[in-house]
Amino acid sequence: MHVLILGGTGEARRLAELLAGTARPDLRVTTSLAGRVAAPRTPPGELRVGGFGGAGGLADWLRGHAVDALVDATHPFAAGISRNAARAAAATGVPLLALRRPGWTPVEGDRWHEAGSLTEAAALLPALGTRVFLTTGRMGLAAFAAPDGLWFLVRSVEAPEPPYPPRMEVLLDRGPFSLAGEREVLRRHRIDVLVTKDSGGAATAPKLTAAREAGLPVVVVRRPPLPAGVPVACDPLDAVRRLAL
């Protein structure tokens, strides 16, 4: 049996580890990474790096490599890849499973402002603060280049490329992040508003707690919906069960 994991997340790596630990000689696991990070954390099993060339290219790869099951374990905001996975699965008849960690939910004391896109998030900022902790990654920073009078602390794994905000400082770091560390970031940079995508999970959640403690507003960009009809596993163990290995 050949399982192809569309990866790039901690959940994808953990799923590959679980599958590799089944001790089944007839089980082949391949993880595909987009190649946007120069030094990714590589999972066990076979590895391929780079795009497929759209849904058609992915369908050809599924056929050519005799894939029996496809798992979309990409980032919750990788909507284009998820669409291509659904189309390729439909074209080839390969079963598709989406692995998605649950999103965050606000609790008492949170001051959340939801946005449907990065552009909507940027439009909310002038009314909320002037020193912005931007934790949406290095892609899509052009959406925040227009607002005047704002300063941005941009945290990402790798340095962003223009266009990006004219007044910003880049903090290169990779999660998981501690609560103490997030408190210090907010304090040291005098942050008064946080912007994040609803990526979910525990690795980057401490920033939400730190913002709540400090009484800061948080702009949360909502996730794009998954393609209709795709079954969803909430964690890697659930994915293994659903794959019926």
Average pLDDT over all residues of the chain: 93
Q: How far is CA 110 from CA 186, 194, 214, in A?
A: 16, 12, 10
What's the sign of the alpha-carbon dihedral 122, 126, 127, 130?
positive
Residue 26 reports pLDDT greater than 70: yes
88 lies in which domain range? 2-102+224-243
Domain count within the chain: 2
Residue 137 reports pLDDT greater than 70: yes
Instruction: Measure the CA–CA gap between 119 and 102, rounded to whole angstroms.
Output: 24
Is there a single domain that holds both residue 123 and residue 203? yes
Question: At 178, which CATH number?
Answer: 3.40.50.720
Q: Is the CB of residue 150 less than 8 Å from the CB of residue 126? A: yes
Is there a single domain that holds both residue 31 and residue 54? yes
The number of angstroms, rounded, from the C-alpha of 30 to the middle of its chain's C-alpha atoms is 20
Is there a single domain that holds both residue 130 and residue 231? no
Is there a single domain that holds both residue 87 and residue 184? no
Is there a single domain that holds both residue 175 and residue 235? no
Q: pLDDT tier at 40 (50, 70, 90 boundaries)?
A: low
Is there a single domain that holds both residue 116 and residue 215? yes
Is there a single domain that holds both residue 92 and residue 124? no
Q: pLDDT tier at 36 (50, 70, 90 boundaries)?
A: low
Is there a single domain that holds both residue 202 and residue 217? yes
Across 73-138, where does the E strand assignment appear? 96-99, 111-115, 131-134
Instruction: Measure the CA–CA gap between 137 and 139, rounded to whole angstroms.
Output: 6
Is there a single domain that holds both residue 94 and residue 179? no
